[in-house]
Structure 1
Amino acid sequence: MVSAESNTPVQPDSLQSHSYRITVDDGRESFYALSIEDASSEEAWLMSDTVVALDNMR
């Protein structure tokens, strides 16, 4: 098992976020995604799909 400890110092000023609307199936389906990235490291990022409203989760 690999340790979850970070080998990169925490630098809060270097975090960036981007939002995306991803379209698939020739435009018939689309969803939103959010990316949070550490600008100082190509290996430190998180991407998650999102919903527009909580009602869409039900």
Structure 2
Amino acid sequence: MVPAEPYTSARTDSLESHSYRITVDDGRESFYALSIEDATSEEAWLMSDTVVALDNVR
């Protein structure tokens, strides 16, 4: 694992979000995932499989 480096970009319009419903075990199980990505960097992203709706985040 590589230590995190500070993110110094002043741009805030480059963030993108995507939501996914992921099905596994031949359709027996499914879960939701949320991805937040910086469109200008392939190394800056966050993925969570614990959020069903943003209203549940506090």
TM-score, L = length of structure 2: 0.75
Equivalences, count: 52
Larger Rg: 1
1:2 matched to which residue of 2? 3
CA RMSD of aligned residues (A): 2.1
Q: Which runs of 5 or more residues in structure 1 are unaligned? A: 54-58
Structure 1 residues 26-45: aligned runs within 5 Å: 26-45=26-45
Identity %: 77
- Higher helix fraction: Structure 1 or Structure 2? 1
1-side partners of 2:9 and 2:44: how far apart?
A: 11
Deviation digits for residues 32-56 of structure 1 (CA, Å, limit 9, x no counterpart): 0000000000000000013437xxx
- 1:3 CA drift (Å): 5.1
Q: Which runs of 5 or more residues in structure 2 are unaligned? A: 54-58
For 1:48, the aligned partner's letter is S
TM-score, L = length of structure 1: 0.75
